[in-house]
Structure formats: structure tokens, C-alpha cells
Amino acid sequence: MDKVVASAAEAVADVRDGVSFAVGGFGLSGVPNTLIEAVYDTGASGLAVVSNNCGALESGLAILLAAGRIARVTGSYIGANKEFARQYLAGELEVELIPQGTLAERLRAGGAGIPAFYTPAGVGTQVAEGGLPWRYDGQGGVALASPPKEVRDFDGVDHVLERGIRTDFALVRAAKGDRHGNLVFNKSARNFNPLAAMAGRVTVAEVEELVEPGAIDPDQVHLPGIFVQRVVALTPAQAADKRIEQRTVRPR
């Protein structure tokens, strides 16, 4: 039952070229930076990543992206990541953009063993009808476009069929975790982290505070340990590394 491993490097030692990841975080909040850096150190490439966004400010997934290690991104927005936009438009990267709520539910569904579900989000758009550019040809044309999806009427309202997402690995960050893998997330870091954790076949959690089993009130557990296979305790310096994407200040 003790799922704690000695280091982030040990936790991702079995990562190989071409594997898929679900990665928690929203912007710079709740991003498993230590585990991502450990994946970078493995040298693995051709990775498929499912995450709300693909890093920012040269941190998080942005370090794998800049190194050319990511082949495909499934996410909900590009944001201010200029390298992400450049690779996408240059045809170097395959990108599947998904409505944010649909992405969240596809991850949750995959973790819950639900192969697919219907949603009204995207009906009447290229999300349902197909034609979204997944890969450009580098010359302004589309090399690969999204296929059409099944649309079905429920009570007079059209819904599009979306498939659940499962990945080889999931990387998440939690404020607190015990040796059994039960996790607690802090405020806005409880965003895509529980959902990404559910989607991974092997889920690795980096935790800011490691506690013994029983120290977390069961009623306060945000993600049960059944979804977590490996736990890495962060050092104080790693736990304190929390970056701000848009700093706003006012005069005294």
C-alpha cells in the first residue's frame, strides 16, 4: 500500500518514446513541474499530452514543447505560449482543441470507465461537423483535419458524441498526500488535477506535504488513492516554487 517512491526520476523511469500523458494544472496553478522536469531528463520524445494548456513562461510542459519532445497536444487553449502557436502553425505539432468543459468530462469519463458520452457543447460547429485543423502543412493549408462526430437527438436537442480519454501516464500536483495516494488539492489547484489523475493508467502525484495514512480526514480527500500508483514527496524548495503568470500590483 505504500506508494511513495524515492525521487521524481524513479517515478518516471519507465517513460518511453511515444507514450501519452494527462497532466494537471491550469495556467501556472497546480502544475506538476518537478515531475515534468523529470520526464524531460528521461530524454523521451514523440509524447502525446492531454492538458488544459501546454505550459507558460518557460515552465511546465513548455520545457518539453520547446525541446521538440511533444508530438501531439489535446487541450482547450493555446494561451500566451508563443512557441506552442508557432509549432502548431508551422505544422510541427498536432493539436486537438476541445471545449474546456468537454475536456474535463472526457478525462473524468475515461477514469470512470465510461467510453463515451453525449453533450450539446459543440453542436453546429466544426467540433461536431469536423474540419478543425489538427495539423497545418506549414504553408497555410491544413494537412490533417478533425473527423465528423456522431450527433444524436435527445428530447429535441442535438448532442455530439465525445469519447472518454485514457492515457499511459498522468502527472499531478497536490498540496497534501498520504502514503496510500489519497490527495488533497489547494484551492484553484483543484482544477484539472483530479480529472487528469483519473485518466492515467499509471498516475504519479507530487505532493507538497507527505503525511501518514489516517492523517487526512476521509471527508477531506479530494482524490482517493485508488487512482494513484506513485507518490513523490517534494523538497521544501520544490514545494515553494509557485510562479505567477500575470502579476498585478498597485502603488502603496
- Give residue-wise pLDDT tens across range 122-143: 999 999 999 999 999 999 899 9
* Confidence check: pLDDT of 244 > 80: no
* Confidence check: pLDDT of 248 > 90: no
* Confidence check: pLDDT of 197 > 80: yes
Unique residue bearing C-alpha cell 495539423: 135
Cα–Cα distance measured from residue 92 to residue 143, given in angstroms and rounded to the nearest whole number: 11
For the chain, the straight-line distance linking the first and the last C-alpha, in angstroms and rounded, comes to 52
* Confidence check: pLDDT of 58 > 90: no
pLDDT for the residue 79:
78
pLDDT for the residue 215:
97
Span 213-218, average pLDDT: 96
* 8 A C-beta contact, residue 17 and residue 43: no
Average pLDDT along the chain = 94
Give the pLDDT band (50/70/90) at residue 25: very high
* Confidence check: pLDDT of 57 > 80: no
Number of residues written out for the chain: 252
Domains of the chain in sequence order: 8-115+164-240 (3.40.1080.10)
* 176-182-185 Cα angle (round to 5): 40
pLDDT for the residue 252:
83
Give the pLDDT band (50/70/90) at residue 27: confident
For 244, list phi and psi in degrees, rounded to 5: -115, 125
**Counting Cβ atoms within 10 Å, is residue 239 exposed (0-12), middle (13-18) or buried (19+)?**
middle
* Confidence check: pLDDT of 216 > 90: yes
